[in-house]
């Protein structure tokens, strides 16, 4: 049986939800953005009115203001976005138990077994689209196809509040003329390399010898060839199938430039505490620590270090982070933002090889202390208790240590 897969994308998700909560701004250019004073000054999302002025996700607030002087910028409220994400998926669940999230605002839904009950994919998609608009007050765009990749292309093809159908009969006419970078997983670097070989459209990828693509991109080249030709057979996951967490990390743009190791030490402790808290909450130990650094000229790089012993302790993550910083950065330029990520996660129940050179009882005591701090913060708030070092600089302590960057194999939080 030919599959019928929907990809549903909430239009201008964050901005639409903000306009729903404050109808007085609905008819004006609106963007969801960070805090200019804290230097989190980028556009996270924008509504259709702002798009007409050329406002783009990821650009600085001052750049957006130059394009649209009357732009209304509101702060993000992620608890609202998570709530609406759950509400939309509750609607989708009435049509299928195969629902695979792709971020807060997108999801694939396999309705193959329900087309006889609800009608063909087009009719079913329009029913869902109308229900979301009527019941939740926001709009969605839906792509309908026989595979996940073309369904995703369909939801991007026509916006807002629209349904697009790509079939085996029409995809060569509709999909192949699209830019190569519209294909899922063709990022900036891959797109640039494709252009260098004279490949600018999805159709040109499809018509390129797969062996040539493999030579240029390795196994990913064969995947691109399959995707462009509509040969994706990956299933839509069942609702409730949680992806195993691959890594947990935090990053922040600091209120002022970091000038030396001591400045970085303060911020790294705040970030490492948040990362460690979430590792313990999810029941993991980390085997690798990764840091990301960006200087004031916006040049950035990442470095990582394999730990001798897996850990869930903030103090040990911090030691590794500082070791990486000292080995890889000479402070020729101040740093504007830094991040810490714990990777190679293993279950906390995994057996561990002890060594004669470490004090196992001391590590147990440290873990008990940090878990006690977790309990205090859950009961009385994150700022109810903290390390003394984080109070030494009044400017640097004004960061958000809860900025979430938990990465799963599928489904991730992203700007929209």
> What per-residue confidence (pLDDT) applies to 238?
82
Is residue 269's pLDDT more than 70?
A: yes
Taking domain 248-391, whether its CATH number is 3.30.1490.100 is answered by: yes
Mean pLDDT of the chain: 86
Work out the angle at residue 211's Cα, subtended by the Cα atoms of residues 208 and 212, and round it to the nearest 5 degrees: 55
Half-sphere exposure of 79 (CA within 13 A, CB side): 1
Strand order in the sheet with 72-74: 43-46, 30-33, 72-74
pLDDT (tens digit per residue) in 363-411: 778 888 888 888 887 777 766 777 777 667 666 665 554 344 444 333 3
Intervals of CATH 3.30.70.270 along the chain: 5-10+85-228
- Point out the residues that are catalytic: 106
pLDDT (tens digit per residue) in 355-372: 555 666 777 788 888 888
Compare 360 and 254 and report the one with higher pLDDT: 254
Topology classification of domain 13-79: MutS, DNA mismatch repair protein, domain I (3.40.1170)
Specify the range with the lowest mean pLDDT, choosing from 42-51, 231-240, 325-334.
231-240
pLDDT (tens digit per residue) in 209-248: 999 999 998 888 999 999 999 999 999 988 766 556 778 8
> What per-residue confidence (pLDDT) applies to 404?
43
Is residue 412's pLDDT more than 70?
A: no
- C-alpha–C-alpha distance, residues 348 and 283, integer Å: 5
> What per-residue confidence (pLDDT) applies to 185?
82
pLDDT (tens digit per residue) in 151-163: 999 999 999 999 9
- C-alpha–C-alpha distance, residues 270 and 266, integer Å: 7
Intervals of CATH 3.40.1170.60 along the chain: 13-79
> What per-residue confidence (pLDDT) applies to 401?
45
> What per-residue confidence (pLDDT) applies to 193?
93
Is residue 37's pLDDT more than 90?
A: no
3-state secondary structure of 136: helix
> What per-residue confidence (pLDDT) applies to 25?
95
60, 64, 66, 70 alpha-carbon torsion, rounded to 10° = -140
In 3D space, the residue among 262, 276, 249, 388 whose CA is nearest the CA of residue 325 turns out to be 262
Is residue 94's pLDDT more than 50?
A: yes
Topology classification of domain 5-10+85-228: Alpha-Beta Plaits (3.30.70)
> What per-residue confidence (pLDDT) applies to 138?
95
Percent of the chain scoring above 70 in pLDDT? 86
- C-alpha–C-alpha distance, residues 150 and 146, integer Å: 7
Strand partners for 252? 338
């Amino acid at each position: 049986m030919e599959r019928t897969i929907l990809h549903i994308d909430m239009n201008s998700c964050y901005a639409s939800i903000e306009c729903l909560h404050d109808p007085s701004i609905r008819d004006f250019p609106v963007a969801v953005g960070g805090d200019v004073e804290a230097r989190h000054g980028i556009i996270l999302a924008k509504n259709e009115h702002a798009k007409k002025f050329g406002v783009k996700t990821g650009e600085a607030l001052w750049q957006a203001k130059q394009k649209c002087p009357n732009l209304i910028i509101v702060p993000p409220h992620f608890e609202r976005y998570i709530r609406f994400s759950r509400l939309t998926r509750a609607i989708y669940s009435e049509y299928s138990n195969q629902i695979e999230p792709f971020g807060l605002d997108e999801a694939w839904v396999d309705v193959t077994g329900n087309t006889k009950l609800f009608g063909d994919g087009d009719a079913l998609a329009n029913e869902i689209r109308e229900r979301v608009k009527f019941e939740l007050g926001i709009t969605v765009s839906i792509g309908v196809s026989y595979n996940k990749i073309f369904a995703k292309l369909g939801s991007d093809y026509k916006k807002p509040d629209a349904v697009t159908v790509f079939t085996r009969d029409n995809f060569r006419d509709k999909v192949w003329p699209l830019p190569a970078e519209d294909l899922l997983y063709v990022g900036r670097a891959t797109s640039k390399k494709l252009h260098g070989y004279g490949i600018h459209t999805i159709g040109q990828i499809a018509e390129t010898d797969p062996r040539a693509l493999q030579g240029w991109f390795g196994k990913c080249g064969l995947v691109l060839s399959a995707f462009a030709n509509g040969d994706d057979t990956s299933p839509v996951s069942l609702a409730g199938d949680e992806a195993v967490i691959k890594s947990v990390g935090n990053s922040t743009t600091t209120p002022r430039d970091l000038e030396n190791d001591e400045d970085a030490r303060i911020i790294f402790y705040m970030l490492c505490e948040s990362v460690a808290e979430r590792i313990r909450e999810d029941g993991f130990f980390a085997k690798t620590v990764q840091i990301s650094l960006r200087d004031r000229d916006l040049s950035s790089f990442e470095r990582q270090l394999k730990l001798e012993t897996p850990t869930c302790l903030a103090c040990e993550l911090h030691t590794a982070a500082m070791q990486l910083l000292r080995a890889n950065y000479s402070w020729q330029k101040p740093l504007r933002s830094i991040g810490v990520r714990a990777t190679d996660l293993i279950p906390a129940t995994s057996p561990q090889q002890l060594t004669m050179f470490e004090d196992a009882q001391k590590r147990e005591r440290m873990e008990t202390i940090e878990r006690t701090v977790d309990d205090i913060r859950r009961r009385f708030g994150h700022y109810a208790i903290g390390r003394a070092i984080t109070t030494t600089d009044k400017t640097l302590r004004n960061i958000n240590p809860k900025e979430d960057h938990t990465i799963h194999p599928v489904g991730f939080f992203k700007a929209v």
